[in-house]
Structures are given as C-alpha cells and as structure tokens.
Structure 1
Amino acid sequence: MSNYHLQFSLIFLIAIIRGVVSIDYNVTDVVSGTPGGIRFEKEIGVDYSIQEMGTINQFIYTLFDQQNNPNDRRPQNFVQLYIDVHADEAAAVTSGNIINMSSIFIQNYDGDVKWGFTSILYHEMTHVFQWLPSNAPNGLIEGMADYTMLKANYFPPGQAKPGDGDSWDQGYDVTARFLEYCESLLDNFVAQLNKKMKYSYNDRYFSDLIGKSVDQLWQEYKDKYKHNV
C-alpha cells in the first residue's frame, strides 16, 4: 500500500429556500498507488466525487425534506469520503459522516465504474443524512438508502423488482421496492417516515401515515405483484 495520500477538499454552498447551508466535502485516496486507487483517479476522480457529493446531498434533502425545514434534517456540516481497502469486502461502509469506499470494489467493477461508484455513493450519502434511531430495523435503514438509489435512477441492474422478497424489512433492494409501493399510496411517504424516525422508530408509523399496519401493507403489496414473483 502506498504511503502517499491524496487529499482534497472543497466547500459547496447548497442553496435552500430558507437560507444557505455550507457543507464541506472532503475526498481522500488512501490507496492511490494500488490498482483500485489508480482506477479511481483515472476513471472517477476527486473533482467528480466532490461534485456528486454535493448533487446527491441536495437530492436527499429534496427527497427526505419535502417541507424544506432544516429542523427536520439530520445536521451535518462535513462529509468525508475515503477510498480505501475494506477487510470485510463490502463495497462501502458509512459511520456517522465518514464514508469508506472500497478500492477493491472500484478495481473489480465490471462496466462503467463511474456509474457504479455514483450508485453506491447515493446509498452511502443517504446514511449520512437520514435519521438513524437505534431501535429501527436495519433492513428499513438499508432499504431507505436503496430507495434513494431507485429514485435517482441509479438502481443497479438485477436488483429486486416490484413484488420480490420475503419480508418488508428484508432490506436493501427488496425494502426499497416496498417503500416505492407505500409511496404510491401516499405522496412523500418516505420523507414523512424519515421525519418520524428522528428520535425513535415504531411499526405504527406505517398505520399513522397510511392507515394500515405494515404487515397488511406488505401482504397487499405481495398480492398486487404476485404475477411478478
């Protein structure tokens, strides 16, 4: 591993109706001399990464904050993206406002790596800005992040189709499709659900918003798309 670290930062000003939020996006290529680091620099780049972080941030604000109320947002003023190697072989992991993108994922990506990188970045940036109550099902948290990818048209090929899956909180693409169904029943459902999750989570939020239990919604969802399963 190279000991030479490339680090760049830039401040983007995200204009919102009730003012301007200044968020600092920082990108550090920790493994610049490795195959993954080299591919990142040649086919993606720091400038593109920072630009997309700002674009994605604004997309998430719009998707999860339909009322444009800063008090409803998880406060962040800094997001750090590392290009690094992951011991657990994940494409990326996020903790707080720090995102680690795997150079192995970048190195081995088959196809347009910039598109794949951006798709993962939509998912991970959602974790930075969504509410994360400790009692929320992990499958719902991951499903909401995949839902962002879905709405941004960065849903990877081969992912779940409407009606797929075994449970509503299975996570990732399956839960994203279920949330898409709930959104079809109530405009801005995901934004309202995220708002309710500011301090804690409860299954009754589905009933509060749509008037049906999450289990009933799941059953009706499966019934609607049973021809696709």
Structure 2
Amino acid sequence: MKAHAVAAALLTVALAATAGAVTYEVNNAASSTAGGQRFDREYGGDYAKQVLAGASSFTWSIFNQPSPADRSPVDAVILTVGDVGGIASTDRNNITLGAGYVAGITGNDFKDQVTGVLYHEVVHVWQAGLQDYGSHPWVYEGIADFVRLKAGYIAAGWAQPGQGGSWEEGYSVTARFFDYCDGSVKPGFVAGLNAKLKGGYDADYFVQITGKTLQQLWQDYKAMYGN
C-alpha cells in the first residue's frame, strides 16, 4: 500500500473523533453502463465512502480546520456515479463521477486515479468562497489540485514545478504555484487563503498573507525554477 494510502486510512480512523455528524453516501446511477459496472467491480461503494471520509479529513487538516465549527456547514457528502460527460463535477455537497471516465481509465493504478479525482472534488465541497468561482476559477481549482498534490495523487500530464505561463491557468499549474507559496514563502498559505475567500476573492489577499503581490510571487516562483 502506498504511503499516502496508509495516511488516508489513518485519517479515516481519526475521522470518528472529528467528523461530527458528517455522513458519506455513494449511489451508482449508471450501473447498467460499462463504467458503472467497473466502478462496482474494481472500486466499490464502501471503499468510496472511506475515500470521501479520508479526503474530507485531509482537506480539513490542510485548511487548518480542526473543529466542525471552522468548516463549511455540510452534514453529508454524496457521490453519484452518473452516465454523464466529463470526468467529475461538484454542486455544493453533491459529487458526480462520470461513468464514461471510469470505463476509459487505463493503467494498473485504477484506484489511485479515481481516488485522486475524488480528493479534488471533495475539496470543492469544503472550500470557502465559491460564490466567486465564475470570475476566478483558477483560484478554486488550484486549491483543489493543491490538496490532491499534498495527498500524493498526482495525475499523469500534470505540470511540473515551475511550468506554466500564468498563475491563472488553474489546476496543476496553479497548484504547483500554491505549493511554492505554502512551502517556500508562507507556511499555511493555502489555509490562510481559503479562510479569506469566505468574503470573496481579492488579489490583495496574497499581500496580506505573504507580504508580496501576486505578480511578485509568480516572478519569484518562475525564477526559482529558471523560467
């Protein structure tokens, strides 16, 4: 078992003491499709519940939210395997995993690939400030991939450290940038950013947390990797 999988299992055990009333539900609404059948056969609802719980606990630790009072007011995280296009999506506390995506996964790390997607989507359940998602999606997708990165579920094709043309590219490019901000500039940067996002997005948050503008941070990040 991979180290990050062991950590997730331990976090799941710890969940009983910290999760309060949060429940985790899994529904397969695509059981007649190849992807739905593969989900049941190779992943399973019980395992998915454990992953949702572990991902939630891990997200709370990244966001520095040890108490339920610190978190978004969610009492259930619901995963549905659906016969829909795309990989996955999240609407409030409802995550939809695309059966077509599940059917098309190749390689011998099937479970890790699905788990990485679920970690990303669980972050969207718990992160703050999603009312501004439409105007600044890169921030929210970057945070979600940052949590996935720290959990050890890096996907094939992800940007490497220092890659990317703009901090607004989102996903793995922004996640790598946030990893620099969190690890080399201000420990706890992502937790601080998520907390400030409760009031909506403002570029000045970067100055407030790190003492540097967003532009300065990006320039320093690129310079660190010779770009």
CA distance in 2, matches of 1:110, 1:176: 24
**Does 2:103 align with 1:107?**
yes
- Aligned twin of 1:25: 24
- Aligned twin of 1:118: 115
User: Taking structure 2 as the reference length, what is the TM-score of the superposition?
Assistant: 0.88
Higher strand fraction (1 or 2): 1
Where does structure 2 lack aligned partners over 5 or more consecutive residues?
A: 1-13
The answer as to whether partners of 1:36 and 1:106 remain within 8 angstroms in 2 is yes
Aligned sequence identity (%): 39
CA distance in 1, matches of 2:16, 2:201: 29
Alignment of 1:38-187 (within 5 A): 38-65=37-64, 68-86=66-84, 89-111=85-107, 112-135=109-132, 137-184=136-183, 185-187=185-187
- Aligned twin of 2:17: 15
3-state SS of paired residue (2:17): strand
3-state SS of paired residue (1:25): strand
Where does structure 1 lack aligned partners over 5 or more consecutive residues?
A: 1-11
3-state SS of paired residue (2:53): helix
The answer as to whether partners of 2:15 and 2:57 remain within 8 angstroms in 1 is no
3-state SS of paired residue (1:15): helix
The answer as to whether partners of 1:13 and 1:23 remain within 8 angstroms in 2 is no
After TM superposition, what 4+ stretches of structure 1 lie above 2 angstroms from structure 2? 68-72, 132-136
Counterpart residue type for residue 134 of structure 1? Q
Q: Whose Rg is larger? A: 1
Higher helix fraction (1 or 2): 2
User: Taking structure 1 as the reference length, what is the TM-score of the superposition?
Assistant: 0.87
CA distance in 1, matches of 2:132, 2:92: 17
User: Number of paired residues?
Assistant: 210
CA distance in 1, matches of 2:112, 2:87: 14
